[in-house]
């Protein structure tokens, strides 16, 4: 597999535009700078999923606790409306059964709620879907400000929409995990059309929709066709490193019909070994990632 044979130094070179750095401080500085320069919001994500040592679980919990503390005390993020949110992946919190991830996440969610830092529990492959949705709905029921992610490629997602109601928060993505045909579609155009349909359904249910894609046409259609129904319950989300500055400005300024907040997903690591492992996983899960990275690097250089 290509992701395994690419040398580590080359993977790190590929990863640099997409990873804030190898410290929490670097991620905080980048989030503050992007907001000051262009009004971009942020969600911070520690790279460290798929752990295999119990000590890694506790290290990840401690890292998220430090992240929450920093976000709630740093003067640059004093305004709760523009304070970065945090995202986590459940596989970063268990070395055995998936259910073992729940207690660490409950601890982090409680800490985040006390500090006024919104949390998103990211979605991984289909094996995690039931656990993730069930856990998030449990946390919401106890009063925590927690959202999650739904992937439009999965057949089950249309039914899962019905589990989310007014006041909840959902990030909609097409998803990058390869899934069998009995579980998911493979037509990316249909995945993106579903983004629009499902966003409309969620807005009708009173849900806050975080519309996450880099597809310019689909984002423009979202701003023109879907978001006007509830512009106060929408935002666009994009990955750090993908060159969309002009589109981000148009979305924020209302050039497409309504003004939408734009949030950057900002991953950071506690060492470049984690960042390298992150990009290798992305390349393995979606081989087109390498060509996307190359194309974006060429755009930056032009």
Residues with catalytic annotation?
A: 122, 171
> What is the full DSSP assignment across the chain?
-HHHHS-HHHHHHHHGGG---SSHHHHHHHHHHHHHHH--EEEEEE---S--SHHHHHHHHHHHHHHHHHHHH-GGG--TTTS-EEEE-GGGG-SS-GGGGHHHHHHHHHHHHHHT--EEE---SGGGHHHHHHHHHHHHHTT--EEEEEETTBTTHHHHGGG--TT-EEEEE---S---TTTB---HHHHHHHHHHHHHHHHHTT-EEEEE---HHHHHHIIIIIGGG-GGGEEEEEETTS--HHHHHHHHHTTTSS---EEEEEEE-SSHHHHHHHHHHHHHH-THHHHHHHHHHHHHH-
Is 222 within 8 Å of 236 (Cβ atoms)?
A: yes
Nearest to 220 by CA among 185, 186, 256: 256
Distance, in Å, from the CA atom of 209 to the CA atom of 195, rounded to the nearest integer, reads 10
């Amino acid at each position: 597999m290509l992701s395994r044979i690419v040398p580590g130094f080359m993977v790190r070179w590929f990863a640099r535009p997409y990873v804030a750095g190898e410290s929490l401080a670097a991620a905080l500085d980048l989030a503050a700078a992007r907001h000051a320069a262009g009004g971009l919001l942020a969600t911070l994500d520690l790279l460290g999923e798929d752990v295999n040592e119990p000590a890694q679980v506790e290290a990840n919990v401690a890292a998220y606790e430090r992240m929450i503390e920093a976000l709630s005390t740093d003067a640059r993020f004093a305004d709760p409306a523009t304070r970065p949110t945090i995202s986590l992946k459940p596989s970063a919190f268990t070395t055995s059964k998936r259910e073992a991830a729940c207690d660490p996440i409950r601890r982090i969610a409680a800490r985040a709620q006390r500090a006024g830092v919104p949390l998103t529990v990211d979605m991984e492959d289909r094996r995690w879907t039931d656990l993730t949705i069930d856990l998030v709905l449990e946390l919401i029921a106890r009063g925590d400000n927690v959202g999650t992610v739904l992937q439009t490629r999965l057949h089950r997602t249309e039914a899962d929409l019905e589990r989310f109601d007014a006041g909840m928060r959902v990030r909609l993505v097409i998803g990058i995990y390869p899934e069998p045909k009995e579980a998911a579609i493979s037509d990316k155009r249909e995945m993106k059309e579903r983004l629009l349909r499902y966003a409309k359904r969620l807005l009708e249910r009173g849900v806050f929709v975080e519309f996450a894609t880099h597809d310019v046409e689909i984002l423009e259609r979202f701003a023109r066709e879907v978001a006007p129904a509830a512009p106060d319950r929408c935002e666009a989300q994009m990955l750090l490193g993908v060159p969309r500055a002009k589109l981000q400005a148009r979305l924020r300024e209302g050039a497409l019909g309504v003004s939408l907040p734009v949030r950057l997903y900002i991953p950071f690591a506690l060492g470049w070994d984690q960042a390298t492992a992150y990009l290798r996983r992305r390349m393995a899960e979606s081989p087109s990632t390498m060509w996307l990275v190359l194309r974006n690097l060429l755009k930056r250089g032009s």
